[in-house]
A and B are shown apart, each in its own frame.
Chain A
Amino acid sequence: MEKFLIANTLSYPILSMIMIVPVIGALITLFLKNDTVLKAWGFIVTVVTMVISFPLYSAFDSSTPKYQFAELRTWFPSVNLDYVVGVDGISVLLVLLTTFVMPLCILCSWNYIKVRMKEFIFVTLLMEAAMIGVFVSLNTVLFYIFWEGMLVPMYLLIAVWGGARRDYASIKFFLYTFVGSIFLLVAVIALYVTTGTFFIPALMEHSYSMTYQLLVFLSFALSFAIKMPVYPLHTWLPAAHVEAPTAGSVILASILLKMGGYGFLRFCLPLAPNATMVCIPYMIAISVVSIIIGGYLALGQTDIKKLIAYSSVAHMGFVTLGIFLLSSTGIKGAMLQMINHGITTGALFICVGIIYERTHSREIKDNSALGMQMPIYVTFLAIFSLSSFGFPGTNSFVSEFMVLIAAFAKYPLVGAASIIGAIMAAAYMLRLLQKMIWADSDGHAHHAGHGDAHGEGHAAEHHLFDLNLREIGTLGFLMFFVFWVGFNPKPLLNMMGSSVDHLLQQVETGVQKGSLDKVSQVVRVKTEGR
């Protein structure tokens, strides 16, 4: 296994630590009582996790595609199942994204969550551990355990702290993801039975027959496509986003959706290169459809959360598009797009949560003309909205631009079609901004507190105070990354560089092997024919 792994040289087992700290933190919450203490504890635990994950960035060796910070322990020897974790250029940024976003999830729930605070912190911390586990597992069973284990806390986040239709949304979320992942289990077992190992890098070394590859690709892809989500399988996402509490939406948008893209890169491409080649046209078509339909649906939404949810479908379309262009620029762009979407959309959901706490409505018309009353808020909102549709200078511009370059380089028509999606993104985000900052089309702001006499009985309930320090800190933290990535994407691109090249090389050799097999088959048939 040494040829795949670089053992952890830090003074502590970093990857295990960032999973264990939240779990221990979660267990300790069971003994805490006061809500404020609980919130503070949750924040401390997530910040500690974030801090101990720093070396993943600073000590990362971007010159090698091997899995770094690796740990290997025997776990279940009778079926050759080990506890093995490690990160490479593909996963390290996602791990960092997770540890950086989680403190914000606690912060943005400070006032939003009013009941069952203990359970909320407990579930959120478990969720963090499971999400990190998904990205660092180098073993299919371990991956599956975290992948499924994540379902339960996320389900509870929606079902217990969700909005009015939380029952429907949570069940839908659970069933969609469960149905997808159950086939993943079959693929995991089938791979084990064929190769005798669960170790992911070793699985990549094998070459499989075409039919086998296709089946493996499809069972993995179904699961990841649901998680992404791509167009026909996306319907759980708006429901889940709208009903989830702010923290749930942020986790869902920033991290959960990335697992689909990560899965494609980690499993589908290297394990089934020939099947990938066969499926490229379909995957690209689905991506473009996702981009356009996602944007189109977002245009018509009146609920801010739904609008952002549909925009996520479009953004994720860029990710699948970038991945299946199979060029270095495309895949790097897709990966950067995942990070950027995590930053920007997470921030937008926090913005929605902030305004929802004040006006108790997510409708655009109830939240219009905020510019005068909440200047700081609308500044942030404007920045994140601009970032969302890829305004130059912000983070998403870089990634969408890279994907589009890659698309034009290979299939100009696909690039042209995706441009339409990018334009629509500008349309729906600017429409949202215009209405929320200035006013509705009839010139009136409808939220109460504006002082109009026909306020619907709850005029006195909320007056719109601007952001407090906690909220400014939360959004400011994310804003920093918007511009940091926007102006200086180089460090991140460097980190993924060699892993992406290695991945492309794997696919290429896999395809060559596949075609060689075919040639030898043809030769065999011919010689036998004689």
Chain B
Amino acid sequence: MQITQLLPEIALSIMVLVLFATSLGKFKAGTLNLTALALSAIALFAAVAGCCEHCVLFFDTYRVDPLSQIFKIITTLGLFLVISSSSGLRGIAENLKAEYYMFLAIGAFGLVSLASSVELLTILMSLEISAFSLYIIIPFRHPHHYRDHLEAAIKYFLFGTIATGLMLFGMSYLFGVTGTTYLAEMAKVLPKLLHTEPLAVVGMILLFCGFFYKLALFPLHFLAPDVYTGAANETTSFIATVPKATAIAVLVRLAHTAGAEVGQLTWVLAVFAVGSMTVGNLSALVQQDLKRLLAYSSIAHAGYVMLGVLSANELGLASVIYYMGGYLLMNLSCFYVIYQLAPAGENLTFDHLKGLYKRSPLLAFVLATGAFGMTGIPPTIGFTGKLLVFTAAIQKGFYTLVILGVINAAISAFYYLKLVRASYSQEDEPGESVALSFPVKVLGVFFIAAIILTGVLPQSFIALAKEAVAGML
């Protein structure tokens, strides 16, 4: 074992330790912010540096391959973007900031190791490391204005443990029918068992449920809107993006384990996917709270992603990885705007967006790019992602699913457009202009450029994703 093989994990561990040390003393918020930013940048750098590693560690339970390394980059990138765009944790109580950063880093560490776990108990361990740190940070919110965050925390915790319970139950079935907890061993027997053994199907679905909860996929979506609304803006932007990406990494592995033909699972997953899109989009239509709207939109996006997982061919799984990366960028760009508009970390509604164009053209443009991207308008990554996912699904002959998917995309256009309309509407008294510091402006331009460029020039990203899928075989 070489040290380079675990670069991102080591960087994140160091980050956790340093942040732990800061939580013992008293530091100014600015210092803390800089420290966390620098450490997360190092973690991102480490993840990029370690991207070409390929090995199996720790008694074959921990696999470092292109798939895991891509998701490590996505995770650390997400962490870095969340920390950099949250500009000093406006929504978090003053005395909890150090701990907040620490738990965020622990969460990221858990997710990074989750991407590499290829054994059921390791998966469980990694998942719980990340889950528990996230349970803890949800109630970390400025206590002055809101009490919803406690409700959110309880809900997230209770349903989270129930989902874990379901997952464990599923794991026990799978262990029972296959006699192993290693995914690699399981892959040899499971495809056949799925056709003959009902228990295997039930076990798989229950196992999936643990990740559907992370992904906020229908029918495990119902608490997501409350949690997203109740948690601080920073927390929401993290839990709405990064754990989802990693959950997808595991789902991609599991879908692969179950064989290219997901078999009878297909129908169940198809219902979940369509349900997720439809429920998410229809509910998002009537939302006023922006975070709630984004919560429902993320439920819908989980549905699109599941279309790719369902297809389970190389293009399908590769496009899922690509789509997830794009979703992370687009969603974080919307949250970036929300942060900048909420000086005290409050929840925003459409009214807060009014006249945004005059107050800050850059923010309005970032929001428009993100919203149009999530609608799937070219030339953004949202379009290219949808194109690839739908192509994979049609290759498998899922015409009905794709048509339902595009109808949903049309529905979603309305509420994404509402975001753009609100920020570009002409107001006689637009209100105070929003002052942005230089680094924040750079970040805004980065979001715009990333969303458009990754959409226009997808070749290298898709090649990477395909390599990741192929490396898993």
Chain A residues packing against B (C-beta within 8 Å): 75-79, 115, 141, 144-146, 148-149, 151-152, 155-156, 159-160, 167, 170-171, 174-175, 178-179, 182-183, 185-186, 189-190, 192-193
Knowing A75-B459, A149-B378, A175-B410, say if A167 contacts B383 (CB, 8 Å). Answer: no
Query: What are 14 A-B interface contacts by the 8 Å CB criterion?
Result: A76-B458, A76-B462, A79-B388, A115-B426, A144-B378, A156-B424, A182-B406, A182-B410, A183-B406, A185-B386, A185-B406, A189-B387, A189-B402, A193-B395
Q: Which B residues, 358 to 412, have Cβ-Cβ distances below 8 Å to chain A?
A: 368, 372, 375, 377-379, 383, 386-388, 390-391, 394-395, 399, 402-403, 406-407, 409-410
Q: By the criterion of a CB under 8 Å from any partner CB, how many residues of chain B are at the interface?
A: 36
Cβ proximity bits B324-353 to A, threshold 8 Å, 1 near / 0 not = 000000000000000000000000000000
In the bound assembly, the distance between CA atoms of A29 and B301 in angstroms comes to: 35
The 10 closest A-B pairs by CB, nearest first: A145-B378, A182-B406, A179-B410, A193-B394, A178-B413, A148-B378, A189-B391, A182-B410, A189-B394, A76-B459
In the bound assembly, the distance between CA atoms of A76 and B413 in angstroms comes to: 27
In the bound assembly, the distance between CA atoms of A185 and B413 in angstroms comes to: 15
In the bound assembly, the distance between CA atoms of A151 and B395 in angstroms comes to: 28
Closest to A116 in B: B357
18 further A-B pairs in the complex, CB-CB below 8 A; given A145-B383, A174-B413, A179-B410: A76-B458, A77-B459, A78-B459, A78-B462, A115-B426, A141-B387, A144-B378, A148-B377, A149-B379, A152-B368, A160-B357, A167-B425, A171-B414, A183-B403, A185-B387, A189-B391, A190-B394, A193-B391
- Interchain CB contact under 8 A, B377 and A186: no
Distance from A262 Cβ to chain B, minimum over Cβ atoms (Å): 18
In the bound assembly, the distance between CA atoms of A183 and B368 in angstroms comes to: 23
* Residues in chain B near residue A155, CB distance under 8 A: 417, 420
B421 within 8 A of A: yes
In the bound assembly, the distance between CA atoms of A101 and B462 in angstroms comes to: 39
Distance from A411 Cβ to chain B, minimum over Cβ atoms (Å): 35
Distance from A450 Cβ to chain B, minimum over Cβ atoms (Å): 32
In the bound assembly, the distance between CA atoms of A178 and B375 in angstroms comes to: 10
* Residues in chain B near residue A76, CB distance under 8 A: 458-459, 462
- Interchain CB contact under 8 A, B406 and A160: no
- Interchain CB contact under 8 A, B377 and A151: yes
- Interchain CB contact under 8 A, B406 and A159: no
* Residues in chain B near residue A178, CB distance under 8 A: 375, 410, 413
Distance from A396 Cβ to chain B, minimum over Cβ atoms (Å): 35
In the bound assembly, the distance between CA atoms of A190 and B394 in angstroms comes to: 7
Knowing A145-B378, A148-B377, A175-B413, say if A185 contacts B390 (CB, 8 Å). Answer: yes
Distance from B398 Cβ to chain A, minimum over Cβ atoms (Å): 11
* Residues in chain A near residue B388, CB distance under 8 A: 79
Knowing A148-B383, A171-B421, say if A192 contacts B391 (CB, 8 Å). Answer: yes
Knowing A159-B421, A171-B417, say if A186 contacts B378 (CB, 8 Å). Answer: no
Closest to B365 in A: A119
In the bound assembly, the distance between CA atoms of A401 and B374 in angstroms comes to: 47
In the bound assembly, the distance between CA atoms of A179 and B395 in angstroms comes to: 23
Cβ proximity bits B189-206 to A, threshold 8 Å, 1 near / 0 not = 000000000000000000
In the bound assembly, the distance between CA atoms of A75 and B456 in angstroms comes to: 9
Distance from B224 Cβ to chain A, minimum over Cβ atoms (Å): 26
* Residues in chain A near residue B21, CB distance under 8 A: none
B463 within 8 A of A: yes
Knowing A174-B413, A193-B395, say if A152 contacts B372 (CB, 8 Å). Answer: yes
- Interchain CB contact under 8 A, B410 and A186: no
B72 within 8 A of A: no
Cβ proximity bits B422-457 to A, threshold 8 Å, 1 near / 0 not = 001110000000000000000000000000000000
* Residues in chain A near residue B395, CB distance under 8 A: 193
- Residue of A149, A182, A183 with most chain B CB atoms under a 10 A cut-off: A182
Closest to A185 in B: B406
In the bound assembly, the distance between CA atoms of A170 and B418 in angstroms comes to: 11
In the bound assembly, the distance between CA atoms of A247 and B98 in angstroms comes to: 55
In the bound assembly, the distance between CA atoms of A193 and B375 in angstroms comes to: 23
* Residues in chain B near residue A183, CB distance under 8 A: 403, 406
- Interchain CB contact under 8 A, B462 and A167: no
In the bound assembly, the distance between CA atoms of A189 and B316 in angstroms comes to: 14
In the bound assembly, the distance between CA atoms of A149 and B410 in angstroms comes to: 15
* Residues in chain B near residue A167, CB distance under 8 A: 421, 425
Knowing A152-B372, A159-B421, say if A175 contacts B414 (CB, 8 Å). Answer: yes
- Interchain CB contact under 8 A, B424 and A159: yes
* Residues in chain A near residue B394, CB distance under 8 A: 186, 189-190, 193
In the bound assembly, the distance between CA atoms of A115 and B430 in angstroms comes to: 14
* Residues in chain A near residue B372, CB distance under 8 A: 152
In the bound assembly, the distance between CA atoms of A442 and B143 in angstroms comes to: 71
B466 within 8 A of A: yes
In the bound assembly, the distance between CA atoms of A152 and B425 in angstroms comes to: 15
Closest to A141 in B: B387
In the bound assembly, the distance between CA atoms of A390 and B462 in angstroms comes to: 54
Closest to B315 in A: A79
* Residues in chain A near residue B407, CB distance under 8 A: 182
Q: Name the contact of A78 in the complex, choosing from B383, B409, B410, B463 (C-beta under 8 A).
A: B463
Q: Name the contact of A186 in the complex, choosing from B368, B403, B459, B463 (C-beta under 8 A).
A: B403
Distance from B423 Cβ to chain A, minimum over Cβ atoms (Å): 10
Knowing A152-B377, A175-B410, say if A160 contacts B424 (CB, 8 Å). Answer: yes
* Residues in chain B near residue A149, CB distance under 8 A: 377-379
In the bound assembly, the distance between CA atoms of A193 and B395 in angstroms comes to: 6
* Residues in chain B near residue A79, CB distance under 8 A: 315, 388, 391, 462
Closest to B425 in A: A167
- Interchain CB contact under 8 A, B424 and A186: no
Q: Name the contact of A145 in the complex, choosing from B379, B399, B409 (C-beta under 8 A).
A: B379
- Interchain CB contact under 8 A, A78 and B379: no
In the bound assembly, the distance between CA atoms of A192 and B459 in angstroms comes to: 18
* Residues in chain B near residue A170, CB distance under 8 A: 421
- Interchain CB contact under 8 A, A78 and B424: no
* Residues in chain B near residue A151, CB distance under 8 A: 377
* Residues in chain B near residue A179, CB distance under 8 A: 410, 413
Distance from B458 Cβ to chain A, minimum over Cβ atoms (Å): 6
In the bound assembly, the distance between CA atoms of A183 and B459 in angstroms comes to: 25
* Residues in chain A near residue B391, CB distance under 8 A: 79, 189, 192-193
- Residue of A148, A160, A190 with most chain B CB atoms under a 10 A cut-off: A148
In the bound assembly, the distance between CA atoms of A77 and B357 in angstroms comes to: 39
* Residues in chain B near residue A182, CB distance under 8 A: 406-407, 409-410
Distance from A148 Cβ to chain B, minimum over Cβ atoms (Å): 5
In the bound assembly, the distance between CA atoms of A385 and B199 in angstroms comes to: 76
In the bound assembly, the distance between CA atoms of A483 and B420 in angstroms comes to: 43
* Residues in chain A near residue B403, CB distance under 8 A: 183, 186
* Residues in chain B near residue A146, CB distance under 8 A: 378
- Residue of B357, B383, B466 with most chain A CB atoms under a 10 A cut-off: B383
Distance from A167 Cβ to chain B, minimum over Cβ atoms (Å): 6
In the bound assembly, the distance between CA atoms of A169 and B387 in angstroms comes to: 28
Closest to A78 in B: B462
In the bound assembly, the distance between CA atoms of A160 and B402 in angstroms comes to: 34
* Residues in chain B near residue A78, CB distance under 8 A: 459, 462-463, 466
Distance from B324 Cβ to chain A, minimum over Cβ atoms (Å): 18
In the bound assembly, the distance between CA atoms of A160 and B361 in angstroms comes to: 13
Distance from B435 Cβ to chain A, minimum over Cβ atoms (Å): 20
Closest to A118 in B: B361
* Residues in chain A near residue B424, CB distance under 8 A: 156, 159-160
In the bound assembly, the distance between CA atoms of A178 and B421 in angstroms comes to: 16
Closest to A119 in B: B361
- Interchain CB contact under 8 A, A186 and B402: yes
In the bound assembly, the distance between CA atoms of A216 and B466 in angstroms comes to: 30
* Residues in chain A near residue B375, CB distance under 8 A: 178
Cβ proximity bits B303-324 to A, threshold 8 Å, 1 near / 0 not = 0000000000001000000000
Distance from B18 Cβ to chain A, minimum over Cβ atoms (Å): 41
* Residues in chain A near residue B413, CB distance under 8 A: 174-175, 178-179
* Residues in chain B near residue A145, CB distance under 8 A: 378-379, 383
Distance from B384 Cβ to chain A, minimum over Cβ atoms (Å): 9
Cβ proximity bits B283-304 to A, threshold 8 Å, 1 near / 0 not = 0000000000000000000000
